[in-house]
Structure formats: C-alpha cells, structure tokens
Structure 1
Amino acid sequence: MVLINAAKNMDVEETGSINNENLDAIENENEEEIVDDSEERELVVNDSCSTKVLDATDQPRDSYWVVYLLFYLFGITSLVPWNFLITANDYWMYKFRDVTPPVNFTMEVRKTQFQAEFTSYLNVATAIPNLIFLILNSLYGHLVSVKSRLQGSLLVVTLCFLVTTTFVQIDTDEWQNTFFIITMVTVVIMTAASAIFIGGIVGIASRFSKEYMGAVVSGQSLGGIIAAIAQIISLAFKISPLHSALIYFIIADLMLVTSLIAYIMLYKIDFFTYHILRGTGGMAPNRHREVSMLLVMKKVWVYAFSIFAVFAISMAVYPAVTVLVESHPVTKGTDWNNIFFVPVVNYLIFNVGDYSGRLVAGFLLRPLNKWLIAVASVLRVIGVPMLMLCNALPRKNLPVLFPWDYEYIMIMIVFAFTNGYLTNIIMINATREVELHEREKASSVIATMLSVGLTVGAAVGMLLVHML
C-alpha cells in the first residue's frame, strides 16, 4: 500500500493542475487559430467515452489500478505473435514433415527443407516488417489518431491469429508450399500490425507515471513466460504437436480478443481519458503541437543507443547460440537432457530472469545518469563469449569452458536479468528527457531503435553460430 500511495502521489505532483484563468487564456488565444482537434473530438463527442474529465477540478484516480493492469495485458498482447508462433516449433515441424511414403523403413529420417529453414524465414518475416512499421509509426503515426491506430492494429492481429488457429485443424500435407506462403504472408501482416500497436501503446504509456510504462514493458516479458510454461506443460503430458499448437493459439486468441475489448472500454474510464488529454487541459493546440524528430533525437540519442546495444547484444546469442547449448553429458539419456533442458533453461529461465529485471527496475530505477546506463548496456557484451563457451553443440573452433548446467544457468540468469533491468530503465528515463507533448515521439524512437537492435543482433547471431 505504501508503494501504491507513493506512486499515486508522484503522479499527482507530476501532472499538476490547470486553473480556470489559464484555461480562459488558452481559449481566447486560440479563437483565431484553426487546429486539428479530431482526436479530442473523438474522445469528447463519442458517447462511449468519458467526458467528466474535461470539467473535473481534481485529477481522477486509477481505482483498483484497473488501467495499470490493462496496460500489463497490452504489454503481454503486444508480443503474442512472436511468443506463441516461435513456441509452437513442434507444430511447424509436423506441418512441414516429409509426407512421402518411405522407400526403406531403415532410412534415417532427415529434416525437409521447410523444416530446416522455417525458423530462419520466421525470423525474417517478423524482424523486417517490425522494423519498417515501427519507423513508419514514429514518422507518420501522428497523422492517425491513437485510438484508430491501436484498435485497427489489434483487430488485424486478432484476425490473422484466428486464421493461423484455423489452419491447425486443416490437412495441409498435399499443399505444403501454399501453406508455407500463406503462413509467411500472415506473419508479415500480423507483425506489421503488432509493430503499430507496440509503438502506439508505448506512446500512450509515456503520458502516465513511470509505473504504467513499467507495466507495458514487464507485460512483454510476462508473455514469454506464459508461452514457455505452456510449452513445458505440453511436453510433460506428451501432447501431440497439433493439440499443443491448438492450445497455444486458442490462448493467444483469447488474449487478443480480451485486449481488443479492454482497449475499447478504456475510453469509458476518467483516469485514462484525462491522461490522453494530459498537458492540454482538454485543448487541442498543445496536443497537436508540431514535434521535431531531430530535436527529439538530440534529446534521447543516448537512450536510443543504449536500447540498441542491449537488444543487439542479447539477440547475438539468444536464441541462436543458446538454443544449441546441451545439458552436461552426465545427464545423457534422461528426460531432462532430451526433453526439458532447452525449454526450461533457454526459454523459461531466460524469460523469468528478464521479467525479474524489469520488475526490480520499476521500483529501484537506478542509475539515473544516462551515460552510466549507456556504459552498463555496452558492458553486457561480456555475456556473449561466456555463453558461447558453454556446452553449445556442434562446435569446431571454440573450447567448452563452462560445461556444467549450473554454470550455464547462472550466466543465463545474469544475462537475462540485466536485459530486463536496463530495458525498463531506458524506456522510463527516455520519456522523462523530453517535454510532455514530445513523449509519444520519443517512445516511438526508442521502440524503433530496439527493433534495429533486434535485427542487427539476429544477423550477428548467424555469424556467431559458425564461429563455435
């Protein structure tokens, strides 16, 4: 309760209040000025939206932290396409298996071309559209209202995932090529829409106190934990690839539909609509004040570099290198070695460590100095050779210096924790470096540089695998 009250007091101090004289002055000043107030009109005129905030003298409260919890949900939802598609690896291997009758039953079963290359294609189909549409959102997102962007993008992601879920029950053995093309097109569309949603929800969160940005960022990591647990449960109960994928995708569908409904309902909450118009007193001119991208970049470039470094370093080894790490040879033949080691350590432990780091950062929020944050972000590169020197197989060049499971797990925990910790600190502090009306643009810049880091890191990871 102390933390909650402190957070609410901080939010009140940060937002301040606008007296009636200032409001009259703003109204008189802008009588001669024609402005685009379409978004504010959408909020005020539409009967589905709250209007009390425009006449209230006191700032509304987030009763029962409903908005905070919904931001958590939106954070989880924002990475649903990636988390649930990549987790259903067994399903994709089944869909693209060799369906031709074997000539010799003693022949070794080998991966088909689709099986061997699907993950690489999936990475490309997610990385490139994500980067392109985050850039487009940061440059031109202001031309479309936030409400339209988020509702539209979330609807597109939901429809695409429903299509993906439908194909689980359809026999595609006779037309794998067509199914592959449909899947890639769907993933591209889904990723593009998801990028717009991420850019928009991060921009909205920047208008609230730091706890709300922390909720979105932490929710993204929590989504990875949910997907990893679902995978481990399906492995433990030996569920077939089709049934496990159906479970994954239905869970994702429910989360997406729930998020879509929740976002529509947000506009009925006074606390949310107050912060959407925050800093404008309900007036449009400040809300639509022109924001210079160059000026914002000058203010946040250190944080932009830091988020780039964090994710480029992480993606250089995770999951390209870490997925190759095997349990110590003494566990050979056990279920831990054959079934659970990679899902538990590579996915669950990493996501739990990442999530823990984001939670701790939300309370501690240290360091505040942007140069120290940048140095800490770069120092994480130490984890790259350490993970490469774990028991990743096959390898031809490098020795194994950390063969034991506990060594690998300890390195992974530190690597994941620092990833989450620095991510949250950067996302929160970057928006505090700019003026209130610049926060949405600054958030888009940071999200874009994060995506650039992911793309560069994935490319470097392909090279590091060949260096093992």
Structure 2
Amino acid sequence: MDPTGSLNNDAIETIENEEEILDDSEERELVTDSCSTKVLDCREQPRDRYWIVYILFYLFGVSSLVPWNFLITANDYWMYKFRDVNPSNLTMLVRKTQFQAEFTSYLNVATAIPNLIFLVLNSLYGHLVSIKSRLQGSLIVIMLSFLVTTALVQVDTDDWQNGFFIVTIVTVVIMTAASAVFIGGLIGVASKFSKEYMGAVVSGQSLGGIMAAVAQIVSLAFKVSPLHSALVYFIIADVVVATSLLSYLALHRVDFFTHHVLHGSSGVSNRHRDASLTSVMKKIWVYAFSMFSVFAVTMAVYPAVTVLVESHPTTAGTDWNNIFFVPVVNYLIFNCGDYSGRLVAGFLLKPSRAWVSAVASVARVAGVAMLMVCNAQPRRHLPVLFPWDWQYIIIMIVFAFSNGYLTNIIMINSTREVEAHEREKASSVIATMLSVGLTAGAALGMLLVRLL
C-alpha cells in the first residue's frame, strides 16, 4: 500500500471528523447543561414526565406573542395617551383624534414589517447563531423593551404626544424583531417533536391573547384610571416573559427536550441531511399560500377596523358601552374563538387536502366585507348594515374560529407533507408566509380604515 495514499486517506477522514464536530457544535451546546449527556447517542426516547416540556411549550407560545397581544389589547390606554388634551367647542364634536383613530393601524405595520424581515433573516442566517443564544437572547430583548413600555405608563406625555408616538413605535419594532427571532427558533424546535407539541405552541399563542384580554378586563373592572390599569396590565406581561426566560434556561436540563432536538420525534438523527428549500416549497406551497391568505384576511380588519366598532347607540352611557365593549368583544371573544378553533383542529385535523384549506382561507374574505359594515366609527363612506351588538359578536366568533382552526390545520399538516429532516425548514417557510400575510393585511388595514 502506498504510504502517501494512506496518509491522504487519514487526512481526509480527520477533516470529515472535524467538520462533523463543527456541525454538531450547536447541538452539543444544547445538552451541555443537561442532567445526562447520554442523550447525544441514546436512541431510546426519554419520557416527558408530568408533561413538563408540553406545558413549557404552551408558555413559550404565550410569550412569543406577548408584544402583539398585550400592546394591541391595551386600547383604552392608547386612547388616553393620544386624547385631545386641549379640547375646544369645535373639537368636542370629534369622537377621536387622528392618533386615536389611526394608532392601531400604525401599530399593525410596526409589528408586521419587522416580524417579516427578521423571520426571513432568521431563516437565512439563523444557523450562524446557536438556537440557545437566539431564544435566550430574544427573550431578554423582549423583556427589556417591555420594561421601557411599562415605565412610560407613569410618564406624563401630554406635551409630547408626537415624541411618545415615535418612542412607542421604535420600541414596538425592537420587541417585534426579537419576537420574530424567538418564534422562528421556537417553531423550528417544535417541529422536531410530535404534532401535539407544535399544537401547544400554536395554541399557546392564542391563549396569550385570552390572557391579555382577561387581564385588561379585570383591571378595567376596578374602574381605576387607564394609567393605573395599564401599569398592572403591562407588569403581567413582564412577569410572563421573565417566567419564560427562566423556564427556557431550565429546559436544557430535561433529557426529553435535548433528545428530541438532536434526534427528532422519530428517534433517528437527521443532523447531517440538508433540506432543500426548493424541494420543500414544491411539497407545501399550497399550504404556504393558505397561511398567507388566513392572516392577510384577518389582519385586514383585525384589529385596525374592529377596534373602531362601537356598541349600539341604545347602550350609550352604560359601562358596557364606555368600558367593556371593545375589550370583551374585540379581544376576549375574538381570542376565545381563535383558541377554540385551534383546539378543535388539533382533534380533527381536517380537511387533510391542501386545496380545501386554500379555498377555505380565501373564502374568509366574506368576513372582511361583513365587519366593514358593522358599527365602526368614525365613518364617512360605507353604510352600517349590522348595527346591533349580537350581529357583530356572531360575525366575530365565526371569523375568529375559522382563523384559529385553519392556522392549526395548516401548521400541522404542512409538516406531514415533508420528510423528517425537512420539517424544520417547512415550519420556517410556513412561519415566514404567516408573517408575509400579517404585513400585507396590516397594509390593507390602513387603507380599509380610510374607506369606512
């Protein structure tokens, strides 16, 4: 045997081994703090004792949309901050200032655009940063940004509403960017587990909306000022994010979690198998379009248009009209409907055909048309065809339920169309298309508000 050839073979083998070590570096970081590093090589699946990982995935789902849920639901607070501080006899006739009428639309855009940009960046370059650093770092940024928002509650901003608006939007952009990185990493991790864990993340996002709505309603029920209720409200959000951060740090000591991150739900490692984006898109492009459609349709009216809907004039002067109508109907009922849809979808998982989901997603445009002719104020062009509260509530329930149901169906079924090693890439594509839908819907929502 040629000794030179032997040396070359040894060198090649050494290089390959070094590359494998580099490829495994991120995954080995995940188990550095694990109770037992045997999960790197063990093929026997550890058990999720007491469903700890499942519960934490629910919590992470809640935290992933904390900026969106808690900021968008604090409508009473924003209406107070952007009120007309120098009313005159002429302006007293105007129900809402320009900031009050359009702030929700701006908030939609401030969340949708950075969410899209950073989801795409996370998909393209996320592998350059370890998953642990991405998830942990993004939670820290979210927590610090929300602490700034909480502190501003107690600051008198009447004399600098324009400046407060700019600071708020910048803070929202930073929080949303961090949330996008967190969501992208979280969904990628969840795709390595069985479908129940992906369902926990998706359902947790909706549950976060319910928590935000209930927290606001409870704070308003005490009939304290919007500032004090918002302070309590935002502190709850701070606690949720801080709890998630601590829980994520503890999660790395759970063998069940680290085993699935390395081997997936099948128990077979796919660490060195590349997933082609082109191949994945060919398999799930219909689901990707469906996810885009679901959120583009929803965001076109919720909450930019729906937050402007007022109770029927017969309830004028009551607490229902003045305090509870928007929090209960626009946020609590919507999020309960959305959450119910996601729960039901987790049991049925039908329709199983991608094209049926796509048709159903587009058909929700009918809900946009109906919500546009509810009692949204102020309005200049369109008539009010559904003035009664019960009409608006029924439309909202159906609209919300279909949003949650289709979201879960698309998210779970899309990962079933690809091979095990392609699931993380497929989940990333679906999450990105969701964000594209959010952005398109937010832009359309700004237009629809002006068409009322």
Normalised TM-score (structure 1):
0.86
User: 2:3 maps to what in 1?
Assistant: none
Residues 134-190 of structure 1 show CA distances to partners (whole Å, capped at 9, x for unaligned) of 111122212222111111111111111122222223344555444433322221111
Q: Give the letter for the 1:314 counterpart.
A: T
- Counterpart of 1:202 (choices 187, 203, 215) is 187
Q: Give the letter for the 1:327 counterpart.
A: S
Range 339-348 or range 307-316, more displaced: 339-348
- Counterpart of 2:352 (choices 368, 376, 395) is 368
Equivalent runs, 1:324-335 vs 2, <5 Å: 324-335=308-319
User: 1:454 maps to what in 2?
Assistant: 438
Question: Alpha carbon RMSD of aligned pairs, Å?
Answer: 2.6
**Structure 1 SS opposite 2:239:** helix
Report the Cα distance in structure 2 between the residues aligned to 1:293 and 1:222, rounded to whole angstroms: 31
Gaps of 5+ in 2: 1-12
- Counterpart of 1:85 (choices 71, 77, 90) is 71
Deviation (angstroms), 1:198: 0.6
Distance verdict in 2 for CA 1:119–1:404, change over 3 Å: closer
Q: Does 1:420 align with 2:409?
A: no
- Counterpart of 2:24 (choices 37, 47, 51) is 37
Deviation (angstroms), 1:442: 1.1
User: 2:8 maps to what in 1?
Assistant: none
Normalised TM-score (structure 2):
0.89
User: 1:166 maps to what in 2?
Assistant: 151
**Structure 1 SS opposite 2:430:** helix
Report the Cα distance in structure 1 between the residues aligned to 2:48 and 2:130, rounded to whole angstroms: 23
Q: Does 1:242 align with 2:242?
A: no
Q: Give the letter for the 1:310 counterpart.
A: V
CA contact (8 A) 2:305 2:448 kept: yes
CA contact (8 A) 1:137 1:199 kept: yes
Report the Cα distance in structure 2 between the residues aligned to 1:281 and 1:317, rounded to whole angstroms: 41
Distance verdict in 2 for CA 1:113–1:449, change over 3 Å: same
Deviation (angstroms), 1:106: 9.4
Distance verdict in 2 for CA 1:68–1:305, change over 3 Å: same
Distance verdict in 2 for CA 1:462–1:180, change over 3 Å: closer
Distance verdict in 2 for CA 1:40–1:309, change over 3 Å: same
Q: Does 1:315 align with 2:299?
A: yes
Q: Does 1:220 align with 2:208?
A: no
Report the Cα distance in structure 1 between the residues aligned to 2:160 and 2:369, rounded to whole angstroms: 43
Percent of pairs with identical residues: 77
User: 2:330 maps to what in 1?
Assistant: 346
Distance verdict in 2 for CA 1:211–1:340, change over 3 Å: same
Number of residue pairs matched by the alignment: 437
Q: Does 1:276 align with 2:261?
A: yes
Q: Give the letter for the 2:54 counterpart.
A: Y
Residues 118-141 of structure 1 show CA distances to partners (whole Å, capped at 9, x for unaligned) of 333322221111111011112221
Residues 439-468 of structure 1 show CA distances to partners (whole Å, capped at 9, x for unaligned) of 111111111111111111122223333433
- Counterpart of 1:358 (choices 306, 318, 342) is 342
**Structure 2 SS opposite 1:421:** helix
Residues 410-456 of structure 1 show CA distances to partners (whole Å, capped at 9, x for unaligned) of 12111111110000010011111112222111111111111111111
Q: Give the letter for the 1:447 counterpart.
A: A
Distance verdict in 2 for CA 1:178–1:394, change over 3 Å: closer
Q: Give the letter for the 1:80 counterpart.
A: V
Deviation (angstroms), 1:49: 5.4
CA contact (8 A) 1:90 1:241 kept: yes
Distance verdict in 2 for CA 1:400–1:48, change over 3 Å: same
Deviation (angstroms), 1:248: 1.2
Report the Cα distance in structure 2 between the residues aligned to 1:32 and 1:107, rounded to whole angstroms: 74
Equivalent runs, 1:43-442 vs 2, <5 Å: 43-44=30-31, 46-48=32-34, 50-56=36-42, 58-97=44-83, 108=92, 114-279=99-264, 286-442=270-426
Distance verdict in 2 for CA 1:252–1:139, change over 3 Å: same
Distance verdict in 2 for CA 1:386–1:106, change over 3 Å: closer
